[in-house]
Amino acid sequence: MTFAGTDLAYDRFMGRYSSRLAPLFADFAGIEAAMTVLDVGCGPGALTGELVRRAGEERVAAADPTEQFVSACRARFPGTRVEQAPAEELPFADGDFDAALAQLVVAFMSDGVAGVREMARVTRAGGVVAACMWVIGPEMELLHVVHGAGAAIAPDHPYVNAAQRYRSEPELLELFEAAGIRDVESGSLVVSSEYADFDELWDSVVGGAGPIGDLLRTLDADGVESFRSEVHERLGDRGAPFTLSGRALAIRGVSRS
């Protein structure tokens, strides 16, 4: 799956969370200096940047199917190999990396099992394969509010009715086991982001990054205003500034390759 919107729109909407999630996820995966690491579904580079900080640009590679994200990631990390490719068809050799990570990606893979198998293929035997995804529901406040607002104004839209895969611990464990990953462990990662006021939050939503952009492009001016009102109502009176939190489930295991 490719994502709508620019890299800057993504940064304002989800990047403010994923950049905070990246260090926690890298810790969970045990990423250290001198490791060679692949970021699968890198987007504009939130996790890539953390991996580069730990291992150095030349020891990190990244892949994403969305052209504008690949361009943005290459510009941000010119010493890192960044390829335009889906997780299911990674353009890297067998056993190239000590670890392969997918942050907030497996739910959007066309074939999750194939994608994780590819991650294992390009990871050396005994290397780390890891993924994480936001949970569904109020523990990921931003997405809970936005998705609920979308369902209220456009209940039949594909964005609202898209399958919410790999958002629970049993689903992630089943995914990794089906992909042949061994010694699987899971964990929970919690981050937060502060907003100056509701307008800052709304500006990040209406920028149209990711799947929400598909919904926004179908709305006329009145529809967008209705969406805004729903988001505001569901958020409630939190004062200004306010903070929203998000919990991600993380999973890691060992490649058999």
171: tokens are 């689903």
Give the tens place of pLDDT for each residue, 119-170. 999 999 999 999 999 999 999 999 999 999 999 998 888 877 777 899 999 9
91 or 3, higher pLDDT: 91
Which range (41-50, 186-195, 212-221, 247-256) has the least confidence? 212-221
CB of 125 closer than 8 Å to CB of 182: no
Instruction: Find all residues with CB under 8 Å of 206, minimum gap 6, and list them.
Output: 216, 224, 228
Nearest alpha carbon to residue 251 among 73, 119, 139, 91: 119
Q: What is the mean pLDDT of residues 3-31?
A: 88
CB of 9 closer than 8 Å to CB of 66: no
Q: What is the mean pLDDT of residues 35-40?
A: 98
117 or 217, higher pLDDT: 117
Q: Phi, psi (5° rounding) for residue 94?
A: -55, 135
CB of 108 closer than 8 Å to CB of 137: no
Do β-strands 123-134 and 242-254 pair in parallel, antiparallel, or remain unpaired? antiparallel
Q: How confident is the model at residue 3 (pLDDT cuts 50, 70, 90)?
A: low
pLDDT of residue 188: 98
Q: Report how far residue 118's alpha carbon sits from residue 62's, in angstroms, rounded to the nearest whole number.
A: 13
Q: What is the mean pLDDT of residues 64-85?
A: 96
Half-sphere exposure in the Cβ direction for 14 (13 Å, CA):
29
47: tokens are 């996790």
pLDDT at 257 over 80: no
141: tokens are 């406040």
pLDDT of residue 156: 87
Half-sphere exposure in the Cβ direction for 238 (13 Å, CA):
19
pLDDT of residue 6: 65
b/e map 16-49, b = 16+ CB within 10 Å:
bbbbbbbbbbbebbebeeebbbbbbbbbbbbbbb
Give the tens place of pLDDT for each residue, 177-230. 999 999 999 999 999 999 999 999 999 999 877 788 888 889 999 999 999 999
The domain segmentation of the chain, as residue ranges, is: 7-254
Q: Report how far residue 128's alpha carbon sits from residue 32's, in angstroms, rounded to the nearest whole number.
A: 12
Taking the whole predicted model, whether its pTM rises above 0.85 is answered as: yes
pLDDT at 2 over 50: no
Q: Does domain 7-254 have CATH number 3.40.50.150?
A: yes
CB of 105 closer than 8 Å to CB of 22: no
CB of 134 closer than 8 Å to CB of 247: yes
CB of 246 closer than 8 Å to CB of 118: no
Average pLDDT, the chain: 94
